[in-house]
Structure formats: structure tokens, C-alpha cells
Amino acid sequence: MTFRKRTRVDGGCVGHVHAAVPRPVTMTLPIRCKSGENRKQHHTDLYQSDNFIIRRGQTFHMWITLSRPFNRNTDKLHLDLKTGKLPVVSKRTHVIVPLVEELKDDCWGAVVVKEDNRRMKLSVNSPPTAIIGQYQLRVETDSVNGQYLSTHNPENDIYILFNPWCEGDTVYMHSEEERQEYVLNDVGRIYYGTMNQIGVRTWDYGQFDEGILAACFFILEKSETPPTGWGDPVNVVRVISAMINSVDDHGVVEGNWSGHYSEGTAPTTWSGSVEILNKYHTNNGAPVKYGQCWVFAGVVTTVLRCLGVPGRTVTNFSSAHDTDVSLTTDVYLDENLEPIEHLNADSVWNFHVWNDCWMARPDLPAGHGGWQAVDATPQETSLGTFRCGPASVTAVRHGQVYLKHDTPFVFAEVNSDKIYWQRNADGTFSQIYSEKKVVGHFISTKAVGSDERNDITSLYKQAEGSVEERIAVETACRYGSKSEAYSAPTAEDVSLEVVMDGEGPEMGGDAELSIVLRNSSSKNRQISLHSQVAVMYYTGVHKAIVRKDTTDVEMLPNEGECHTVSSPPTDCHYMMNTIALCFVKTCFTVRQHNRCILLEKRMVSVFDGHVHSAHKTDAIVSVSMFKHILNEYYIS
């Protein structure tokens, strides 16, 4: 198990507020006592910080030293807490904590638990709905000689976090083993590659490192969202999703998929979040250059765990990007089955990395709490801002795309059908084929308590091809912009399969595939077979076409026929240093049925002594199967 314990900062009672006003009740506040009592009970003893860090919905203790013994009959005392730029009592950003006889779970209050001459020990309770953030603390007293409010000392500020150990908190997580993994573990694993060849790398989340908590609160403040919403983890996660990318709000990481990183750091160079977050904070909110999906996701996990929201990094293989809320991945072809590039905005990425966070969802129908998908990679806008989620994973699984937030987009990523449309002579389009098992495979995250890969596909979708899964797809697509995509019947008596022997081509050798056609009907079939060798980025964007072939085939009843497609290294020589992913696309038309089937077969490359898929230009440093040196090593 990868679990690195941090050394706990543990000192004496420091940070005093001195009251110089000569009144009968003045005070000294040694509230930053980190002898272990508060920090250990609140599971904040791993933070490498001298700040007073607690979790909401749980009592904490503090000592107050007065100028004379406290008289309960004539003296009054309360704590005064303020957060945000304009704290207001009615908005819960200005909190007056009274002395009470007995603490209640759902409200602020303080009780005197011990008195020692001029010293008082208070037990203070915060409600499980308290706003998270940095609070300024002062103490106000009222006696026969008047009122006194202590001056603010930044060293006595209180940092309040979400509390997964508190049953009343909406981020409550029952399993201690899962809390250890999804809140306290500061090292994780991120998966990449293809569904057939899954790679992994270690990521240092470092949520307890020095400066990270301050950077996380800085991000919330930089968002300019009102602190009144920071008591709701749904709102906070929406802010995090928006602020980790820099597109429209000068957030933490600037994305770059161009392959040119001279003005910053290549995405593959990063191995953790700490340097990124500290750099963003130190530079007063200047976006850090550069990141791609796994970098965004790694930083989101750090921020979630630092603020107390259970979170994990998730990789989806064969991940769709739906650009028009159709809930399908659409491919448009002309009359000759050639792609119409300006219409083909949808794509299927080899893999895409996002996050899950854990919380109840009182804003949704019962049963939709638990894991929520959140994605900081800037792909599509949500209410005008580049962000995504939190979307209930349960809602995604059942196709309930009408539930917020951004559930349609997440559903399409994991369970959209790939629909092929052909242009007619009059300019309209007709559906000619659909693939139902292309998108959303081997959805992966690090297992609890070990370094094993945990396949969580079943959380996001029903068993592929099952009645339940088809119902979920059709339920979702009723709310999409192309609900008619499920009404086009096609003949199924001719099938096509692309196969590759063994584990794939050897480095420097030919990439040879077999195209197997089968006619299961009792009649002859005239078939036009189209094959295409091309190069594309891991995002599904085409780089270049290497070779195209068209073959007419006449098949007898119940006959099978095999054709070979080969791409020798010389075909790709001109793409040296720019190759992303070599793949073969094949399609055929059965002329009697005007039917088209398209299939893709992605080839593999060999690097670092292992077999992997070749990915995007801007992230591979290796030797490809064509024995060419590539720019960088792509891992997400």
C-alpha cells in the first residue's frame, strides 16, 4: 500500500491575544495549543502547518486567560468568528458563539469545562453545516464596567474543514478504511493507456504539505464566489472544478495539447500537485503552465482531500466527448463514406482522467448520494463556465441525465453509442450504423489500502449489452438532441471484425491486421470494403491519413473471407516526431441493404521496455513501433 505518513506538527500553547485595556475582564487567548488534543481528535495532525485546523461538526477545546476570575453572575462572554470580506450574521459568515449550559450538535456553542483561577477551558462546538474557511477569532466580554472586544491576531485564526468522520456532515463516509484512503492518503496512482494496455504512474497528492491548505483557501477566494456557499460541498466542488483550469477564471493550471511547452513545464514532467499549488499561490494566482487531464485530476484530488472531501482520481478508457448534448458520439460521412471533418466535433479519447468525490445529495431525489463525478479538464461549459459536476454516478448509471450537475456530459463519456450518419443527395443525413459497445471501458481507480487497480465500471454503467444498460441509454437519449438515433433498423447478416495476432506488432516491424468478413445469410452479398490507415491524437482528433484502399468483394451464402491490411514503417516515416496513435479504420457497404459498418483498430507501440498504446504527440518520449523517436511520453 502506498501510504506515506507525515510528521505531525505538535507544539505547545502559543499565539496569545493580549488585552491592554484596563478593564475588570481582559483576556489572553492561548488557543493554538497543538498538544495533540484537538489535532488528533479532528484528524488534522498530518497538516504541516502551525495553524489551528479543525473539522466542522465536532467539538474542540481552547483555554482563555482573563485578567481576573470570571464571575458567572455578572460577567458575560462570547466568541466572535468572522470569515470572508463582508461577514454578516444572517449569512453565517459572522458567527457569535455564546456560552451555554449544554452543547447541541446542530449549532454553535461553548461550555466552560474547567476553571483555574483566571483561566477557563472552553469546549466549543460547530454545526456540521458550518461554512468552511479561515475564521478570525476574537473574544467579547461584557461586565458591569462595560464591553470589551479583543483585537484580532492572525496567529489565532481558526481553519475549519469538512468532516467525513461526522455523521451530520454531508461528506460523511462510514468506512474508516475508505476515509484513510480517500482523505488521509497523500500518494496515489493514475491510470493511462488504452483499454487493452493499461499503464499506471504514481502521483504525490501532498494535501498535508506546507502551504497547501493556504493555497486551497486561496483558490476559493480567487474564485470570487461568496463564502455563504462554502458550507455546501456541492457548491465547493463546482468551484474547484472551475478553478483548477485557467480557461475563463485564471485558475490553477493552463491546459496545453499543442506539443509545444517552451514557455512552461510539459504536462508529463509533473509527478505531483504540491509544486503546482504552491506556485499558483506564491505567484498570486498566475496560472501554472502546463497541464492535461491527469494533471487537472491529480490537483483536484489534492484540493478535495485537503479541504476534507473524500476524493479519488478516475480513468475512463475509450472516453467519449459529446459536443452537442446529443448523448451520442456522432460521425458524419459524405456520399462516398468520407468523413466530413468540419461536422465531426465529437471524439473518443483513448482515455480520460477525472475525479470522484463522496457526498450526500439532498438536492437530488433519495438514493443519488455517494460518489459524484467531477471533471476539471476544460471541455464544455456548464452554465457559462468550463467545469463539470458533481454528477451523481448513480444517476449516470441509470441514464437519469435530467439530474444536476452536468450528468448528460458524464453519461456520454462512459455510455454513449457511436452513431454513423451518411449525407444524402438532398443534404440531409441518414443513420447508417451504430456501435453500442465502443465507449466506457475499464473505468479505473486505485484500490483502497493497496496499489492494485480497482475496476469501477459497474458503478458508472450496467453490464455492457444488458437489457438494463440499453434501457439506461434509451432513457438518457430521450433527453438528448438526437433522440431519433434509435429508430433506424439495419440488416445484421453481414459482419466485420478486425483482429491482430498476438500482442501486436514488434518494434520496427509491419503492423499487420486481418479484416474478417462473414456472410451469415442464405444469399449472395456484394460488398464494398474500405480500409484506411491513419494517425490520430489520443483525444480522437485525426493527424493524417497514411493509406486508403477500396476493395469490392462478392460473398457467397454462409461464407467467410479474410483480408490483410499492412502498414510498414516507411509509411509513417514522414510523421516522425509527430505521430500520436496509428489506427486502421475499416468499413463496408452491403449494396443490397445500403448498410455500412465502420470499425476501428488501434495499433500499439513499444517503449520503456513494455507494450503500450501510442498516444498524443505532446506526451511521448519513447520509441514507437515504427522505430522513430517521439517527442514525449504521453501518460494521460
Annotation: binding site: 415, 417, 464, 469
Q: Residues near 395 by Cβ (< 8 Å), separated by ≥ 6?
A: 364, 368, 401, 403, 407
- Give the active site residue among 33, 166, 216, 293: 293
**618 assigned to active site:** no
Which of 45, 186, 204, 375 is catalytic? The answer is 375
Active site residue 375: yes
Answer whether 453's CB lies under 8 Å from 200's CB. yes
Contacts of 336 (CB under 8 A, 6+ apart): none
Residues 6 or more apart from 122 whose CB is under 8 A from it?
61, 62, 63, 64, 79, 99, 110, 111, 112, 113
Cβ neighbours around 85 below 10 Å, total: 10
Q: Which of 317, 279, 273 is nearest to 298 (CA)?
A: 273
Say how far apart CA 481 and CA 102 lie, in whole Å: 57
Closest CA to 405 of 368, 351, 441: 368
Q: Which amino acid is at 355?
A: N
Distances (CA, A) of 332 to 72, 300, 414, 586: 79, 35, 21, 15
CA 211, distance to chain mean position in Å, is: 22
Compute the distance between CA of residue 395 and CA of residue 373 in angstroms, rounded to an integer: 10
Q: Please say if 363 is a catalytic residue.
A: no
Catalytic residue among 352, 405, 530, 615: 352
Provide the H-helix boundaries in 180-292: 212-222, 233-243, 274-282
Helix (H, G, I), strand (E, B) or coil at 584: strand
Centre a 10 Å sphere on the Cβ of residue 495 and count the other Cβ atoms it contains. Answer: 14
C-beta separation of 592 from 526 below 8 A: yes
Instruction: List all residues 6 or more positions away from 428 whose beta carbon is below 8 Å from its beta carbon.
Output: none
- C-alpha gyration radius of the chain: 30
| Beta carbons of 233 and 166 less than 8 angstroms apart | no
Give the integer Cα–Cα distance in Å for 123 and 30: 14
Binding residues for Ca(2+): 415, 417, 464, 469
Q: 15's torsion region: left (phi>0), alpha (psi -120 to 50) or beta?
A: left
* SS3 of the chain: helix, strand, coil, percent, to 5: 20, 35, 45
Q: Which three cell numbers stand for residue 329?
A: 458520439
Q: Which of the residues are catalytic?
A: 293, 352, 375
